[in-house]
Amino acid sequence: MVGIAPNARIMDITHQVTPFSIEEGARFLSAVTPYYPPGTVFVVVVDPGVGTSRKAVIAKSKKGQYFVLPDNGLISPVIERDGLESAREITNSAWMIGDAVSSTFHGRDIFSPAGAHLAEGWDYTLAGPEVQQLVRLTPKVATVTESGIEGEVIALDDPFGSLISDIPGEEFKKLGYALGDKIMVQLDKKPFTLPYTKTFMDVPVGEPLLYVDSRGRVGLALNERNFSQVHKITPPVALFIPKKGAPIKGRR
């Protein structure tokens, strides 16, 4: 990339995506893109299907950001939120490392050089033919019921070990709780009681809390401790939050 676009500003966002987890990579990507300007080029490689018939693509969102990645669903949540202007399959060898493209390292041989060419101002429509339909993920979402919200712990906020759920903060707030309320939730089929707080330091060190995290989702944590390790929680596990005043007893 440096050889093609020596003046490009390259930022390494993360290497912490669980290996092979397209869904987690998609969540990470969707979470960071709002904080970058139009014209930003994202090179994203979570690619268990490398070398197969899956397409290597450049997608441009309606926010004017570019995404160089495998067509395996990674871009789904970004497109659902920001819209898709157009996508192109990378077939033009001038956009690649050269003729010696590996069958197992497209991050080096296709995605990185294509991203660098975009950073140099190349017209992405010349990378290859238009892709009419991108692969889309269909992630599981939390379910709102008469008694509360049924969701899942879908990831860990590492290295802290806090739990990330798929329960939107806005839906949680409709359950009737106020800051400071203690909430009995059912986590991995076990009852846990936690206060609903705004910050970690609203509880003593080592104590649990329920909060709305920076992603806008319900999170569970221990102040200055690792919730996942202490309570032996490994995603995915079920999470149920009842409406305020509704009993949790008897749920299975």
Residues of the chain with pLDDT under 70: 248-252
Looking at residue 249, its pLDDT comes to 55
Looking at residue 251, its pLDDT comes to 46
Q: How far apart are CA 113 and CA 116, in angstroms?
A: 5
| 22-126 CATH | 3.40.50.10790
The domain covering 143-242 belongs, at the CATH homologous superfamily level, to Bacterial fluorinating enzyme like (2.40.30.90)
Looking at residue 252, its pLDDT comes to 39
Residues in the chain, total: 252
pTM of this prediction? Answer: 0.84
Domains 22-126 and 143-242 share a fold: no
CB neighbour list of residue 38: distance below 8 Å, 6 or more residues apart:
63, 64, 65
Q: What is the DSSP letter of 225?
A: B
**Element of type H or E holding 206:** none
Q: How far apart are CA 66 and CA 182, in angstroms?
A: 44
Domain residue extents for the chain:
22-126, 143-242
Tokens representing 57 are 């693509």
Measure the CA angle with vertex 154, ends 246 and 85; round to 5°.
115
What pLDDT digit, counting tens, does each position of 50-65 carry? 999 999 999 999 999 9
What pLDDT digit, counting tens, does each position of 140-165 carry? 889 999 999 999 999 999 899 999 99
